[in-house]
């Protein structure tokens, strides 16, 4: 493990000692795998199962949508890689709601779910399908017209495929600025998810929800992140992801 990673984890573990309330928050992964990995960002299924056990043992409830300031965890998966679909039976067995952020132009692409699999997810009430833009462009780097296209086209494509409203979006690589937020609001994306850690009801920016990446967290780090230990680094994440 790189020294910078070890230092980051130590800071997160230490900071978590100062949080006593179990405030509700969103955590996210990219994929899970039992044998074949579809992305280097994938979490081994045993690690994922341990995380779920820790969440439940600590008295949190896993929900599709957070409604209470205390005690609820929402789980998201980004990019719609194939591993989650291959392990759909595990998710059904665990009965955990999952929000899946889909890049609309990646449907049917190698290592990603196809249209049929997307429909199967949508058919199951455990899964909520949301937008992760049309082609995963970094929204801070493109023109206003392109941002609008990325957000509008993915919403339209997903809604016509699924036959239901898509009202949440996650910004690719967590990058956003005021213009991105304005456009997302104008397109009626009621919830916008970032990669800046934060509790659900302490929005990192108006209309933007914080999330914590937990895909490689061991037991101690995962418990620290649940408590909010990673929030101490949010100034650094804001610097990295948010541009005026
Ligand atoms: Zn992504």
pLDDT tens column, 142-163: 999 999 999 999 999 999 999 9
Interval between CA 8 and ligand 1 midpoint (Å): 22
Instruction: For the chain, list the domains and their CATH numbers.
Output: 3-241 (3.20.20.370)
- Counting residues of the chain whose pLDDT is more than 90, the rounded percentage is 81
Q: How far does the chain reach from its first CA to its final CA, in angstroms?
A: 34
Residue 60's pLDDT is 96
- Distance (Å, rounded) from C-alpha 198 to C-alpha 230? 8
Cα of 116 to ligand 1 centre, how many Å? 21
Ligand 1 ion: nearby residues, β-carbon < 5 Å: 78-79
Q: How far is the CA of 173 from the centre of ligand 1 (A)?
A: 5
Decide if 231 contacts 244 (C-beta within 8 A). no
CA distances for 174 relative to 28, 65, 188, angstroms: 12, 20, 19
User: Average pLDDT for residues 222-240, to the nearest whole number?
Assistant: 86
Residue 104 DSSP label = G
Distance 136 CA to ligand 1 centre (A): 6
Q: If pLDDT is split at 50, 70 and 90, which confidence band does 197 have? A: very high
Give distance in angstroms: CA of 231 to centre of ligand 1.
21
């Amino acid at each position: 493990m790189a020294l910078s990673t070890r230092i980051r984890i130590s800071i997160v573990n230490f900071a978590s000692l100062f949080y006593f309330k179990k405030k509700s928050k969103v955590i996210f992964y990219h994929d899970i795998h039992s044998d074949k990995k579809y992305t280097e960002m994938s979490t081994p299924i045993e690690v994922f199962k341990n995380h779920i056990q820790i969440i439940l043992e600590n008295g949190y409830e896993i929900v599709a949508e957070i409604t209470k300031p205390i005690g609820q965890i929402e789980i998201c998966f980004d990019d719609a890689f194939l591993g989650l679909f291959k392990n759909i039976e595990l998710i059904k067995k665990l009965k955990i709601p999952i929000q899946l952020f889909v890049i609309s132009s990646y449907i049917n692409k190698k290592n990603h779910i196809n249209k049929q699999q997307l429909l199967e997810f949508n058919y199951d009430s455990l899964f909520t399908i949301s937008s992760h833009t049309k082609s995963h462009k970094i929204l801070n780097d493109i023109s206003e017209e392109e941002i609008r296209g990325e957000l509008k086209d993915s919403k339209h494509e997903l809604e016509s495929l699924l036959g239901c409203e898509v009202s949440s979006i996650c910004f690719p690589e967590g990058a956003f600025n005021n213009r991105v937020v304005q456009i997302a609001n104008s397109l009626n994306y009621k919830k916008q998810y970032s990669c800046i850690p934060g509790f659900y009801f302490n929005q990192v920016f108006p209309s933007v929800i914080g999330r914590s990446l937990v895909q490689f967290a061991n037991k101690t780090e995962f418990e620290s992140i649940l408590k909010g230990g990673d929030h101490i680094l949010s100034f650094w994440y804001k610097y990295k992801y948010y541009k005026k």
